[in-house]
Amino acid sequence: MFALVDANNFYVSCERVFRPDLNGKPVVVLSNNDGCVISRSNEAKPFIPMGAPAFQYEKIFRERNVEVFSSNFALYGDMSTRVMNILARYAPDMEIYSIDEAFLLLDGMEHLNLEDHLKRMKKEVEKSTGIPITIGVGNTKTLSKVAAKIAKKFPGKTGGIYILDSPGKIEKALRWLPVEDIHGIGRRLARKLHRMNIRKAADFIRLSNAWLKKHLSIQGLRIKKELLGERAFGLEMPAPRKRIATTRTFETDTSDFEYLRERLVTFASVTAAKLRKQGSACQLLTVFIRTNRHREDLPQHFGSITLHADYPTDSSLHLAQLAVAGLEKIYRPGYRYKKAGVIAGELVPARHRQLNLFVPLDDKHIRLMQSIDKLNAKYGYDLLKTGGQDPARTWKMRQAKLSPSYTTRLEDVIRVKV
């Protein structure tokens, strides 16, 4: 059996953990740059659709007294980690599907009272983190998704947990589930199925295998098998990325070399932290700067260079040095740059990197990076920076109300009134 664990209205729930006064009130969280709504409380859902452009709903926000928050990804990421760490103790294998969802493989746990086991898990997550969760269980990943939708739709009857453990339950669920809500069926495909009068999951499974394979490819056939209880999808473990990039578009065009230098040092440091988190080191670093291609009245320049490290590295200091060296080679005075970034390539496992006979590995860097990561993880991702970074600069993403990073920034915890 698979269990799909879904954190309810996750970003809003994270905000409410530290602001219990928001319980029972309409709350929304906005995307980067406060562009659109990406999380809604149940109270806000009747009059604010998911993805609603924030500027179009400002009047409704005021009239309905909606609490509006900018995305606080430092807080949400840390809360997600806490939830996932608890879930991992309740199953032998787990796939973290997204920041607020995880699949648990429950095979080999038949000796347990499954419902009691899941109730204990749900209680511990909600007591330890304050995040409410919904759990759906089925013999396949797709059926567990169906069960989770039922648990979320009917919380009063299910208590937030629903198990599809009999043919009768499965048949009833498939007659209820709209075809557009089947996991793996997108909007475009759902419209096509509606034109064929395929409205429910029960209609979908009656389509012939030949038709599904012809019109929906092998993926459609696998979805049908999953709905019928035959496993076609297993747990997926994330593969290490082959390249890691950090790029940003600036708020305004700039020709300031020192500004570009500071930004690229920051991008290199962020990339190095991503490498260490993945357990990788890079042999190459590509550095680029680009003018605003939409400004036809300005001269255009795209500068790019790829530099080789002496040996595969995950050091923020080493990559920052390479980034600066690259900038010095590609920068042209007089051009106004709009975007810059770094891309780490030729990744290898950090524990098995091939060293350079003539350039010894600096063990001090390894220990220093480990200490920096440990402190930043505990007190905030940007607590410690390299000397080339502006200590006061942060990513410019938010304009509306931003909640404190209660769990990751020491100064935010100190400011909270007890």
pLDDT tens column, 319-357 = 999 999 999 999 999 999 999 999 998 888 887 655 555
Which residue, among 155, 139, 202, 204, has the nearest Cα to 176 in the 3D structure? 202
pLDDT above 90 for 237: no
Side chain identity, residue 288: F
Tokens read off for 176: 């209820």
| pLDDT score for 405 | 66
Beta bridge pairs of residue 116: none
Which residue, among 398, 399, 274, 241, has the nearest Cα to 341 in the 3D structure? 274
Query: 252-308: per-residue pLDDT in tens?
Result: 899 999 999 999 999 999 899 899 888 898 999 999 999 998 888 889 999 999 999
pLDDT above 60 for 187: yes
Q: Would you say the C-alpha torsion 198, 204, 208, 214 has a positive or negative sign?
A: positive
Side chain identity, residue 196: M
Q: What is the 3-state secondary structure (H, E, C) of the chain?
A: CEEEEEECCHHHHHHHHHCHHHCCCCEEEECHHHCEEEEECCCCCCCCCCCCEHHHHHHHHHHCCCEEECCCHHHHHHHHHHHHHHHHHHCCEEEEEECCEEEEECCCCCCCCHHHHHHHHHHHHHHHHCCCEEEEEECCHHHHHHHHHHHHHCHHHHCCEEECCCHHHHHHHHHHCEHHHCCCCCHHHHHHHHHCCCCEHHHHCCCCHHHHHHHHHHHHHHHHHHHCCCCCCCCCCCCCCCCEEEEEEEEEEECCHHHHHHHHHHHHHHHHHHHHHHCEEEEEEEEEEEECCCCCCCCCCEEEEEEEEEEEECCHHHHHHHHHHHHHHHCCCCCCEEEEEEEEEEEEEHHHCCCECCECCCHHHHHHHHHHHHHHHHHCCCCCCCCCCCCCCCCCCCCCECCCCCCCCHHHHHHCCC
Superfamily of domain 2-163: Reverse transcriptase/Diguanylate cyclase domain (3.30.70.270)
Side chain identity, residue 112: L
Q: How confident is the model at residue 188 (pLDDT cuts 50, 70, 90)?
A: confident
Domains of the chain by residue range: 2-163, 167-227, 244-379
pLDDT above 90 for 23: yes
Query: 206-230: per-residue pLDDT in tens?
Result: 999 998 888 888 888 999 999 999 9
Q: How confident is the model at residue 366 (pLDDT cuts 50, 70, 90)?
A: low
| pLDDT score for 249 | 87
Q: How confident is the model at residue 363 (pLDDT cuts 50, 70, 90)?
A: low
The CATH number of the domain covering residues in 167-227: 1.10.150.20
CATH of 244-379, one of 2.60.120.10, 3.20.20.140, 3.20.20.60, 3.30.1490.100: 3.30.1490.100
Q: How confident is the model at residue 418 (pLDDT cuts 50, 70, 90)?
A: very low
Query: 58-76: per-residue pLDDT in tens?
Result: 999 999 999 999 988 878 8
310 compared with 238, residue with greater pLDDT = 310
| pLDDT score for 289 | 95
pLDDT above 70 for 56: yes
Which residue, among 358, 244, 245, has the nearest Cα to 310 in the 3D structure? 358
How far apart are the C-alpha atoms of 158 and 134, rounded to whole Å?
10
Tokens read off for 5: 């664990």
Query: 382-394: per-residue pLDDT in tens?
Result: 554 565 565 555 5
**Packing angle, helices 316-330 and 257-278, rounded to 10:** 140
pLDDT above 70 for 94: yes
Cα 377-380-384 angle, rounded to 5 deg: 90
Beta bridge pairs of residue 31: none
| pLDDT score for 416 | 52
| pLDDT score for 212 | 87
Query: 25-44: per-residue pLDDT in tens?
Result: 999 999 877 889 999 999 99
Tokens read off for 116: 């009691």
Specify the range with the lowest mean pLDDT, choosing from 34-38, 46-50, 163-167, 393-397: 393-397
| pLDDT score for 395 | 47
